[in-house]
Amino acid sequence: MRVDWKGQLVQIRELGQGPAVVLVHGYPLDGAMWSGVARTLSGRFRVLKPDLPGRGENPAPPDGTIDGYADFLQAILAEVPPPAGLAGFSMGGYVSLALMKRGTAGVRALALVDTRAGADDEAGRAARETAIATVRSGGAAAIADGMIPRLLAPASAQNASLVERLRRIIVRQKPETIESDLTAMRDRPDSTAFLPRIGVPSIVLAGDQDVITPPAEGQAMAAAIPGARFAAIPASGHLTPMERPGSVAAALGDFFAAALLPNAAQ
């Protein structure tokens, strides 16, 4: 699938058939982080895993705002028939919430994965500034060095193949794109008050060893969204879609099937 975005045709990687499910990646990553989950979901859905602006298949420069990334998602959803599902991981969750505030009619099911609704506090904003200084001085490799131990559960960090794949994704990101992500996250609005107004079926997932967005935050988000449920992903840190793709795909697959496939319960 191709989307006309800021005068460029952007390729959106997709696989499978059925109702569309859009998987939104996090920082400092690209759509490849969803590959294992996407392969499983493609048995029942048309799975799209776009690269947000500034990386991979999307050369259009980012503008340093969560709303700018949400604009791109909205352009994708305008090209797919409803009903559609939306899953946002970490920063992708911030983008998904920004999109949902617009009342996007085509999204009929929402999954928030290892993310939070609150804005950065003073400590969080200071950490973003530190990371911006790090990427300016040391590039993507320096970001990878600092992020990988925090993204993974201790057992996952011993998986050399996983660590290598993760590092490969991070170091191929442009420093200016990483800085744009950091700026966007630092300046994002608080979405906590919006959660009770989400009117589509919703699920919140979090790794049971996530130190970036702990499970307690995910449970609180699910409690605030009408009818939402929370599911912990066992033996996983923050990066559940790469650490435990089978568990994440199982949770998302059952959720999206119930919301998007008319005969799923039969």
Determine the pLDDT at residue 264: 59
Tens digit of each residue's pLDDT (9 = 90 or more) over 161-172: 999 999 999 999
Structural domains of the chain, count: 1
Whether 159 maps to a domain, the answer reads no
Q: Looking at residue 73, which CATH number applies to its domain?
A: 3.40.50.1820
pLDDT greater than 70 at residue 89: yes
pLDDT greater than 60 at residue 140: yes
Whether 202 maps to a domain, the answer reads yes
Q: Distance between CA atoms of 131 and 40, rounded to whole angstroms? A: 34
Q: Distance between CA atoms of 242 and 216, rounded to whole angstroms? A: 21
How much of the chain exceeds pLDDT 90, in percent? 92
Tens digit of each residue's pLDDT (9 = 90 or more) over 91-133: 999 999 999 999 877 999 999 999 999 999 999 999 999 999 9
| Residue listed under structure tokens 């699910």 | 222
pLDDT greater than 70 at residue 147: yes
Contacts of 10 (CB under 8 A, 6+ apart): 2, 3, 4, 50, 51, 57, 58, 59, 60
Tens digit of each residue's pLDDT (9 = 90 or more) over 202-232: 999 999 999 999 999 999 999 999 999 999 9
Averaged pLDDT for residues 154-182: 97
With beta carbons less than 8 A apart as the criterion, state whether 242 and 33 touch: yes
User: Which residues are registered as beta bridge partners of 8?
Assistant: 5
Domain that includes residue 15, residue range: 2-119+190-260
Whether 254 maps to a domain, the answer reads yes
Averaged pLDDT for residues 54-81: 93
Determine the pLDDT at residue 7: 85
Whether 16 maps to a domain, the answer reads yes
Whether 180 maps to a domain, the answer reads no
pTM of the prediction? 0.96
Give the rounded distance of the alpha carbon of 217 from its chain centre.
16
pLDDT greater than 90 at residue 59: no
Whether 93 maps to a domain, the answer reads yes
| Averaged pLDDT score across all residues of the chain | 95
